[in-house]
Structure 1
């Protein structure tokens, strides 16, 4: 198999989350995070951040259990979409074509080795804000929200996986992601791996699922303008009853300033500020962290909370 050219995957497009309490989850993402509803169909609601240019950044769908149904990646062209579909099928990851989301064209839906649904697409309409949401600056898709945290964009997805290395290899060898950092346990196993499709330091992450389950979600993350936005988000959380799991603090890996909360459906959501750190080197060396280094905790010494290793969606029975 030839190594995929850099840039066939343009960026992370959107994510579909499942929730057992659709109304409460919509309220969390609109009132607390500041997303805008941009369409409803049946048991699904489309939402968008103010600086994502496409129709939606997130789809919330009613379900008996929380979790992640789909991660959609936009390709850089129709030809890039064709190349990645050919590579997927050659590698044995046979998928299907669908047209089941507003604002985008054909989607090729396949799965990673762990069973997470990965969808590739090219055709996408650029968002046109209605009069009440038009920005003053013409190079911004939508006016900044006047409530909640006001997150800027969907930033990354962190999956739980039974085999981190196999899933990371899938993204690297079939989709063209570059690995930037990883955790290697004392027994040689890769415990987590961060990969990027862009000049961001990471777009997707795989973390070992200690339960041995497959297809589960650790968290999705939204980027803020500043660290101060995350501090404000923590205050808003305690004022409005949003559960804070850990943070605010700074990760050692990737140096991301973070806050982790749970949305009402049970999915973990990260607010992050990675905007100052880019990986511009095309020959970036993979950074490996040891088990001993990770036991030191986060950048400023905060120990990793136990639930970070045990909470995932859907929950284990």
Structure 2
């Protein structure tokens, strides 16, 4: 086993594209329960009440859907330079940007499937306005109780045409560790779960059964307990939000989950996530067989077909 690398501190934010910007914004603010922290151009910056950074979701109006980019914060300025050197040697770099409303300069690069990643260190720490100041000084923003009202961004999932190539990319470019994976009967990797810190995972890549490339599967925000996920199901029901699957418990990672589609069709999850921590420094990946996965989720719920085919943008 190679020495663990902690140059990358944590998942910071996603930029999600929507061709229904007003409807999507209403969903994320009034139903899902995020808070707007800023606007610039065609983008609205959103956050959960205990995200410490300025934003964790950048919602951008577009003629399509899916993920525009994902940002990770490094553990230091020097760590950022070390990662950039490795990425440039890999030949997948795009180049430096001047930054964004929520953070300083960043370095962008592409996964083998074309997903755009960025790394940054200088960031804008959220300062709550008077109406959002918490009573407790150790959280970023007051708990407002609006909609689902998740605590923080937790993880995301991308679809890939070759998960094995992604595994090599993530471990080299970000220094990620593989915590769990699915090995199909034909020898291909069907899915892979990665972490850059001691969480169970911050990103999962699963095989795209549609034949597409570079597509988005879902974004997940964490709530404190399972009861919050059940409450979210009722909130979605009352607001006419399409529930795709759940509430239920995943076999892989043990996450208690609920999946819905926001108005533009991007998949969004609410989860009681983050309870499992990978504290063991010599952790070996847990490998699941195709037969084991065919049994369904932890309590027997079968994985629905759309979970392997629905992604954004849609495949023409």
Report the TM-score when normalising by structure 1.
Answer: 0.98
State the aligned residue count. Answer: 316
What is residue 110 of structure 2 aligned with on the other side?
A: 111
Conserved? CA contact 2:157–2:216, under 8 Å: yes
SS of 1:95's equivalent?
strand
Conserved? CA contact 2:16–2:59, under 8 Å: yes
Offset, 1:100: 4.0
Conserved? CA contact 2:40–2:101, under 8 Å: no
Query: For 1:23-51, what per-residue CA distance to the aligned partner results, in whole angstroms no more than 9, with x for missing partners?
Result: 11111111111110111112110001111
What is residue 261 of structure 1 aligned with on the other side?
A: 260
In the alignment, structure 1 segments of 5+ residues that lack a partner are none
Offset, 1:96: 1.1
141-150 or 245-254, which moves further after superposition? Answer: 141-150
What is residue 146 of structure 1 aligned with on the other side?
A: 145
| CA RMSD of superposed structures (Å) | 1.2
1:223-262 superposed matches below 5 A:
223-262=222-261
* 2:295 maps to 1:302: no
Give distance in 2, aligned partners of 1:267 and 1:161. Answer: 16
What is residue 129 of structure 1 aligned with on the other side?
A: 128
Give distance in 1, aligned partners of 2:99 and 2:124. Answer: 14
Give distance in 1, aligned partners of 2:275 and 2:166. Answer: 28
User: In 2 relative to 1, CA 12–52 (structure 1 residues): closer, same or farther, beyond 3 Å?
Assistant: same
* 2:188 maps to 1:189: yes
What is residue 214 of structure 1 aligned with on the other side?
A: 213
125-134 or 93-102, which moves further after superposition? Answer: 93-102
Give distance in 2, aligned partners of 1:106 and 1:162. Answer: 30
Give distance in 2, aligned partners of 1:107 and 1:145. Answer: 32
SS of 1:297's equivalent?
coil
Give distance in 2, aligned partners of 1:146 and 1:154. Answer: 16
Give distance in 2, aligned partners of 1:26 and 1:80. Answer: 35
* 2:91 maps to 1:92: yes
1:272-291 superposed matches below 5 A:
272-291=271-290
Offset, 1:207: 0.5
What is residue 27 of structure 2 aligned with on the other side?
A: 28
Give distance in 2, aligned partners of 1:46 and 1:242. Answer: 22
Give distance in 1, aligned partners of 2:161 and 2:309. Answer: 13
What is residue 180 of structure 1 aligned with on the other side?
A: 179
Offset, 1:94: 2.1
Conserved? CA contact 1:4–1:173, under 8 Å: no
SS of 1:90's equivalent?
helix
Conserved? CA contact 2:38–2:45, under 8 Å: yes
Conserved? CA contact 1:5–1:176, under 8 Å: yes
Conserved? CA contact 1:230–1:259, under 8 Å: yes
What is residue 313 of structure 1 aligned with on the other side?
A: 312
In the alignment, structure 2 segments of 5+ residues that lack a partner are none
What is residue 204 of structure 1 aligned with on the other side?
A: 203
1:59-98 superposed matches below 5 A:
59-98=58-97
Conserved? CA contact 1:172–1:178, under 8 Å: yes
Conserved? CA contact 1:55–1:127, under 8 Å: yes
Offset, 1:103: 2.6
